[in-house]
Homo-oligomer: A and B are copies of this chain.
Amino acid sequence: MEKLMENDVFMAFSTYAAIVILKMMLMAPMTAYYRLTRGAFANDEDVSRKPAEERKKLLRAHPDVERVRRCHQNDLENIIPFVVIGLLYALSGPELSTALLHFRLFTGSRIFHTIAYVGALPQPSRGLSWMLGMLVTFSMAYRVLHNLRLNSTHSYHTDLWTCLFTVTVQKTR
């Protein structure tokens, strides 16, 4: 265990994984802020202290709140795969410089993605930052699966699933 946290690549992974997860968590207070300032709530009990006539009006969806929620959802859909694939990637023993390039590109792309989404910047700024993050994760996944295939001469690699996978990888060369 101490060894994991003395490994350069794993330390770099830990740093960037913590940063992007923290960035994702900050979407929740941001949603709360927009709900309060825009007056758009989802639950009866959240507006129970308001006068009765106001309550119904406050239980609504506001475009700004929905925008932040879509951004949060996009984070869930992209940052969590990055963390999972990134952990396996860090354990697969890549070069530190290559690993850092992956982690930094992803972190940068997601921070820019949030700015582009919440700020409603003109496309394709949001689309491209999303795509860059996806490509970084795919690149790490390729390395993980490729390594596993090479290092492994074990039984579980000789059956249907792996054959299918091996064929796919060889075709893509």
Interface residues of A, Cβ cutoff 8 Å to B: 1-8, 10-12, 14-15, 17-19, 21-22, 24-25, 27-28, 42-46, 48-49, 67, 70, 72, 76-78, 80-81, 83-85, 88, 91-93, 96, 100, 104, 107, 120-123, 126, 130, 134, 137-138, 141, 144-145, 147-148, 151-152, 154-156, 161-162, 165
Contact = CB atoms under 8 A, between A and B. Distances in A.
What copy number does this chain have within its complex?
3
Contact of A3 (B1, B27, B147, B154): B1
The 5 closest A-B pairs by CB, nearest first: A14-B88, A21-B81, A12-B156, A45-B123, A18-B141
Given A134-B28, A156-B96, A43 B67 contact: yes
Contacts of A147: 5
Main secondary structure of the interface of A (DSSP, over half): helix
Nearest to A137: B25
